[in-house]
Amino acid sequence: MKKSWISIIGVIVLLVTMGIVVAKVKKSSSASSETVSVSVQKLLDEAAQYEAQGDQLKAKGAYEQIVTDHPDYDKIEDIQNKLGDLNMSIIFSKTETPQTVMYQIEPGDSLGKLAKEYGTTKELIKRSNGLKSDVIRVGEKLRIWKAPFSVIINKSQNILILKLENEVIKIYHVSTGKDNKDNATPTGTFKIASKIANPVWFKPGSKPVPPESPENELGSRWMGFDVDPHYGIHGTIHPEAVGQYATAGCIRLKNPDVEELFDLLPVGTKVTIEN
């Protein structure tokens, strides 16, 4: 009987000890979570302050620190979206960065010539300098983007990742092929070989569908691949289906998103498609 009581007391002591340990773990976890929240909120406050001051580069640094130091933050996707929008705002602005150059127009220059020389697009030069036409004047100074972008498309998540070297600039939701057989989106490495604004859709077995038609599946922009010109990145007339497996093999985005990419990506941009 004495041994039985000793065993019972031992079990009680063990359970009490375990309860104390669990309580300490919970308390530690809660404290850690509170610390993360405080750290993130501090960085968010800093980002908001920098944005209010018009210092987009410092605001970007604060958002990047959240993504790097607090990847488990429960609203990390919101932070990534903020960072993506801020990156776009910087790229399309006159802000000078390590990826830009200030160029003074010389006789014989044109937007097309400058875009080709610096590996960028006419559209990006115009947008970042507030140009309303292709006319440029000798002596005028233009801010020109000179760093190459690349694109990664992940079919399992239906996302398109815009990158600048190792930096993720922005993440877009896309639609890819309906299945892995007849309507499969090809995997591999490609280059953008053609770009068309407001494209005509040459619908198989039917008459060409003009750009203004509500039946034009290509939406407002087309960027075709080099390996097979039947595949490419384009807009849509079905924005509600973006994020689903819904295409005949192409990569489909909402029109505002594909228009943004169209202005950024020159012919020759590397596109990697992975499962």
Secondary-structure class of domain 150-274 per CATH: mainly beta
Distance CA 205, CA 154 (A): 31
So what's the pLDDT on residue 7?
54
**Confidence band (pLDDT; 50, 70, 90) for 233?**
very high
Q: Locate CATH 3.10.350.10 in the chain.
A: 100-145
Q: From the candidates 70, 173, 230, 250, give the one annotated as an active-site residue.
A: 250
Phi, psi of 259 (to 5 degrees): -65, -40
pLDDT at 13: 46
- The beta-carbon contacts of 184-187 under 8 Å, at least 24 apart in sequence, are 184/249, 185/153, 185/155, 185/231, 185/247, 185/249, 185/250, 185/251, 185/273, 186/227, 186/228, 186/231, 186/249, 186/273, 187/155, 187/273, 187/274, 187/275
Active-site choice (70, 230, 234, 238): 234
Q: What is the pLDDT of residue 206?
A: 85
| 8-12, 29-33, 247-251 — most confident range | 247-251
pLDDT in tens, 154-195: 999 999 999 999 899 999 999 999 887 778 899 999 999 999
37 or 247, greater pLDDT: 247
Which residues is 101 bridged to in the sheet? 144
* 64-77 confidence digits (pLDDT tens): 988 888 888 888 88
pLDDT, mean of residues 24-41: 59
Superfamily of domain 100-145: LysM domain (3.10.350.10)
In the annotation, is 230 catalytic?
no
Mean pLDDT of the chain: 87
pLDDT beyond 50 at 101: yes
What percent of the chain has a predicted confidence (pLDDT) above 90?
A: 65
Could you count the other beta carbons within 10 Å of the beta carbon of residue 46?
17
Residue 23 has pLDDT above 60, yes or no: no
Q: Annotated catalytic, 70?
A: no
Confidence label for 91 from pLDDT (cuts 50, 70 and 90) = very high
- Which of the given ranges, 6-15, 42-51, 136-145, has the highest pLDDT on average? 136-145
CATH 1.20.58 intervals, the chain:
2-91
> If you average pLDDT over residues 221-248, what whole number do you get?
94
Residue owning tokens 């990826």: 99
So what's the architecture of 2-91 in CATH? Up-down Bundle (1.20)
